[in-house]
Structure 1
């Protein structure tokens, strides 16, 4: 039994792992960018704004940890796929866009509008921000879905 030959497998065998590695990376990346830009640099909001600033900062810490856990998990999957020579970059990028887009749309619709735990900004008309946030999310979902669909035909 040759271990090296066992590691080289057709990429379609690992189709779901490629997709999930990308999805986790996309979620982690979108959360990281959101937290870094809107929470830390611009100070527009915290993950949870229905309490004190101290609670908001703690919630940002948990949110930041979540983004890194998702990113690290995705990178372990990614490294394993590379080791097995089963990395399928087109499918992986489709997963990245899907993960980031679904995360962003969930944030924009559920957390901003339904739960109202925070808004993108305060003391301004949020309508243009909401539309921009959600349209970008939908575009990422559409492009990611097309990439995943295109690779599905190759399975």
Structure 2
């Protein structure tokens, strides 16, 4: 893996994290609108964590003498139910985990331990998000959305 490929992976990761932060922000606002303030607060915490991840990627891109491009990977979508909120976020987290795992391997193969460590650290955070989202979907399935 070359420096350009590493920078490409870091840029892709940055775009993914910015998209995730905006998606969590949108979900927090929707949940506030629905009167589910505690859950909206949790989404805002997730948004802040994703912004922290984006900072790590920006810092690494700059360290490698690249130029960060702060663009979203895709447009955030408004969900129409709690289940849709959680499922959308879960799908994105699964995609991120796969990409970061592969990017960590590529960074290792290139001897870029710094980038590898960043990808691995963030994979662990995303796995935590994934587990929480899976739990919420399981609770909705068992209890029903109105009781949730």
Q: TM-score, normalised by structure 1?
A: 0.44
RCO higher in structure (CA 8 A, sep ≥6): 1
> Which of these two proteins has the greater Rg computed from alpha carbons?
1
